[in-house]
Amino acid sequence: MNRLWQPSATIDALRQRAGIINRIRAFFAERGVLEVDTPSLSHAAVSDPFLHPFSAQYIPEGGGQAATLYLHTSPEYPMKRLLAAGSGAIWQLCKVYRNGEIGRRHNPEFSMLEWYRPGFDHHQLMDEVDALVRAVLAGESARRITYAAVFAEHTGLDIHQCSDADLQSLAAARCGFQGELSRGGYLNLLFSECVEPRLQAPTMVYAFPASQAALARVVEGDDRVPSAARFEMFVKGMELANGYFELTDADEQLRRFEADQAQRKALGLTALPIDMPLVDALRSGMPSCAGVALGVDRLVMLALGASTIGEVIAFDTQRA
Amino acid sequence: MANYSTNEFKPGLKVMLDGDPCSILENEYVKPGKGQAFNRVKVRNLKTGRVNERTFKSGDSLEGADVMDREMEYLYSDGEFWHFMATDGSFEQYGADEKAVGDCMNWMKEQVVYTVTLFNGAPIAVTPPNFVELEVVETDPGVRGDTSGGGNKPAKLVTGAVVKVPLFINTGDVLKVDTRSSEYVGRA
């Protein structure tokens, strides 16, 4: 008999996981944040050039126009539309889907906790993320450090001064890397190979390079140069959460979507439909807010001391 | 040879890296939430035995290496080459040089079957069986009756290898040795 019928997690791990989910639910209930549930199938996909959504065919019964729908890679866009519609603070725990991602810390479907706080900036949201993580893992408060400072600490390079050639030679020396990458690509490689594994104690990295802003606004005052109001939390060398002081400017949002589309084309990927309802929602006015997405499976991995994601989800994709 | 992409880098796959044949040991998928995916790959250079870590962009590929492991009986050494014969009935013979034999030199015994790694048809590495039986050529005289296993002493084997043995072992005894740990297992 094939043993793949068995769960990848132990029943005890699933019991502990359920306890952590209850704690998360209580955390938001105490703070008066509204739980929401947005669609996992949508007509548009994320624009992020390095995320590959699953697509599915909608076929009307009895005939008619079929349509391609995309499984969400995060609930960000519809949650922002709720904010624009006046929801106030909201949170969601849902399954999200990312094609092609499989590894020790990756499963093509995983659980994401995402929340938005009108009136907060990224520094206030870092406080709240820290409180939530400590409600689950206990332990000390996270250290906060800028991207440039933590990069310099572990590589000796100043991202504001160093040349592309400096990054390239360090990638060859430290990671044996050969190949072509953009400056942003080298930063990403060096960060994930030389910095991330060293961030063992809880750490919030903020003030990302403006080129890695994604959907964060660009601000002055966090670093010597204008930087993305974006933060990531790392625990035991693992990326756990990614947050923004959210971009609210519709025109800038559209420009970034179009820049992502251009990058997808340059990478030889098919361009995906732009989410115009999000642009329209921003245009009608989304309150100033900060938002964050946190990998719940990874949080459970940390709480249980698990080394693979399969140990904390009932059935990993191999067994699904 | 075929090309293999990073998602096909399974442990045991043989690929060409910097002109040398290498065996994949581990392949870890690394992907930041935002940004390019990479594969952190641990490889063993089959010529030098050295283990290296290399990072590739996900989707990059490497050429496969024409590497084959064959079971062969060790025949003799002429001082320059160690001669082996395939045990698959082909009676094909191969001469491995000192570099290819490497650390296996400690465990060479005629008529024993070894795994010989061929690259483009030529031996590049020799792996001994997990256990070999070799004669002691030099050790302090045995302590009669001491079979308790407490205490040990060095013993030099016929190949020149030195292993730690219990006190009761004598010159001329044939020992079973674990080649992976260089440890004495028992008298043969």
Structural domains of chain A in order of their starting residue, each with its CATH number: 11-142+201-319 (3.30.930.10)
| CB contact (8 A) between residue B55 and residue A175 | yes
DSSP code of residue A141: P
Q: Pick from A48, A176, A181: which is nearest to B34 by CB?
A: A48
- Calculate the average pLDDT of chain A: 95
Q: Pick from A104, A106, A188: which is nearest to B35 by CB?
A: A188
Separation of alpha carbons A128 and A122, rounded Å: 10
In A, which residues are within 8 Å of B29 by CB distance? 101-104, 106
pLDDT band at B152 (very low <50, low <70, confident <90, very high): confident
Q: Pick from B28, B29, B37: which is nearest to A50 by CB?
A: B37
Mean pLDDT value across residues B162-166: 93
Q: What is the pLDDT of residues B77-125, one digit of tens each?
A: 999 999 999 999 999 999 999 999 998 999 999 999 999 999 999 999 9
Separation of alpha carbons A31 and A319, rounded Å: 38
Q: Please name the residue of chain B whose CA is at the shortest distance from the CA of residue A46.
A: B34
Separation of alpha carbons A236 and A232, rounded Å: 13
Tell me, what's the ipTM? 0.84
| pLDDT mean for each 10 residues of chain A (320 residues) | 91 98 98 98 91 95 94 97 98 97 96 98 98 95 98 96 95 90 92 96 97 93 96 97 97 94 88 91 97 98 97 96
Residue A265: φ, ψ to 5°: -65, -45
Distance from CA of B92 to the nearest CA of A (A): 39
Mean pLDDT value across residues B174-187: 93
| CB contact (8 A) between residue A189 and residue B33 | no
In this predicted structure, the answer to whether residue B149 has a pLDDT above a threshold of 70 is no
Token readout for B29 is 């998928």
pLDDT band at B49 (very low <50, low <70, confident <90, very high): confident
Distance from CA of B121 to the nearest CA of A (A): 29
Q: Please name the residue of chain B whose CA is at the shortest distance from the CA of residue A173.
A: B54
C-alpha distances in Å from residue A206, one per residue of A145, A150, A167, A227: 6, 10, 20, 9
Task: Please answer whether residues A106 and A316 qualify as being in contact, where contact means their C-beta atoms are separated by less than 8 angstroms.
Answer: no
Separation of alpha carbons B134 and B159, rounded Å: 8
Distance from CA of B30 to the nearest CA of A (A): 8
In B, which residues are within 8 Å of A185 by CB distance? 35-36
Query: Chain A residues contacting B, CB < 8 Å?
Result: 48, 50, 100-104, 106, 171, 175-177, 179, 181, 184-185, 188-189, 191-193, 196, 212, 214, 232, 239, 242, 293
The pLDDT value given to residue B20: 93
In A, which residues are within 8 Å of B5 by CB distance? none
In this predicted structure, the answer to whether residue B147 has a pLDDT above a threshold of 70 is no
The pLDDT value given to residue B19: 92
Token readout for A241 is 């959460």
Q: A interface mutation test: which of B17, B22, B38, B50 has the most A CBs within 10 A?
A: B38
Mean pLDDT value across residues B22-46: 92
Task: Please answer whether residues A59 and A66 qualify as being in contact, where contact means their C-beta atoms are separated by less than 8 angstroms.
Answer: yes
In B, which residues are within 8 Å of A102 by CB distance? 29
Q: Pick from B28, B29, B34: which is nearest to A50 by CB?
A: B34
Token readout for A277 is 């309802």
| CB contact (8 A) between residue B36 and residue A181 | yes
In B, which residues are within 8 Å of A106 by CB distance? 29, 31
Separation of alpha carbons A251 and A259, rounded Å: 12
Model-wide pTM > 0.90: no
Let me know if A3 is exposed, middle or buried by CB neighbors in 10 A (0-12, 13-18, 19+).
exposed
The pLDDT value given to residue B144: 65
Q: Which contacts qualify for A171-175: CB closer than 8 Å, 24 or more apart?
A: A171/B55, A175/B40, A175/B53, A175/B54, A175/B55
In A, which residues are within 8 Å of B31 by CB distance? 50, 101, 103, 106
Chain CA centroid to CA A187, Å: 17
Separation of alpha carbons A15 and A12, rounded Å: 5
| CB contact (8 A) between residue A192 and residue B53 | no
Let me know if B19 is exposed, middle or buried by CB neighbors in 10 A (0-12, 13-18, 19+).
exposed
Separation of alpha carbons B123 and B70, rounded Å: 10
Helix, strand or coil for residue A104?
coil
Let me know if A32 is exposed, middle or buried by CB neighbors in 10 A (0-12, 13-18, 19+).
exposed
Task: Please answer whether residues A182 and A241 qualify as being in contact, where contact means their C-beta atoms are separated by less than 8 angstroms.
Answer: no
In A, which residues are within 8 Å of B37 by CB distance? 50, 100-101
Q: What is the DSSP string of A70-92?
A: EE-S-SHHHHHHHHHTT--SEEE
Q: Pick from B32, B33, B60: which is nearest to A179 by CB?
A: B60
The pLDDT value given to residue B150: 67
In this predicted structure, the answer to whether residue B148 has a pLDDT above a threshold of 70 is no
Token readout for A45 is 């996909």
Separation of alpha carbons B41 and A317, rounded Å: 22
Separation of alpha carbons A212 and A219, rounded Å: 13
